[in-house]
Amino acid sequence: MDAVARDAAAPASTRVLAVRHGQTDWNAAQRIQGYTDIPLNAHGHWQAQQLALALAGEGVQAIYSSDLQRARATAQPFADAAGLPVLDAPDLRERRFGHFEGRSFAEIERDWPADAVRWRRREVDFAPGEGETLLAFDQRCMHACTQLAQQHRGQTVLVVTHGGVLDCLYRAATRTSLQAPRSWVLANASVNRLLHSDAGFVLVGWNDDQHLALPTAAAAAPPR
């Protein structure tokens, strides 16, 4: 088989642009959000507008979002510009953190010190009260991401989701254990590029935030 025929016979990869939602007041205050449906703040809405401009030339053919409003509001400006619907994907929600939600890291360590230690250790079978284990969360969100990628083989898909989901995607693409300490950035409204094939996800680029750092854009940004 010659090179042209071999390339034609090879299964196409899906190009996935994965984005964390824009900033919320709870992000700024370092409070755990989880399933709590917190809206974007003014800076988060500005980030969503900048994201829409940055994605204009990416050739996106489908947009999927967590059904929480902070993710949908981040996806909407680009969807409006591209003339595409935002498709709800509830399994792209953040991890359910139960009684941790609404609390700061310091409050969690003060009120539930034993739970805080288990959480910091990334114990895969630990769940905060009424929350979700790390293992169950990873299985839920990675199953959703894989299904979306398989449905759009050969296309470019935008996925707007949450920091925890992006963390799982990064680990899957780099073959990093769920329990390994995190050393990568999960910034609001940055663009993270992956490819998906029958071999799984691979990392192409991470935390592209140039659209949030241009001098002209910075001058237009509202105060935080």
Catalytic residues: 21, 94
Q: Chain-centre distance of CA 5, in angstroms?
A: 36
Is residue 179 within 8 A of residue 124, CB to CB? The reply is: yes
Cα dihedral: 92, 96, 102, 103 (round 10): -120
Residue 74's closest CA among 187, 204, 150?
187
Strands (E), the chain: 14-20, 62-65, 86-88, 156-161, 191-197, 200-208
| Beta bridge pairs of residue 40 | 24
Is residue 141 within 8 A of residue 170, CB to CB? The reply is: no
**Other Cβ atoms closer than 10 A to 157:** 22
Is residue 30 within 8 A of residue 107, CB to CB? The reply is: no
Residue 24's closest CA among 55, 49, 45?
45
Q: How far apart are CA 222 and CA 128, in angstroms?
A: 35
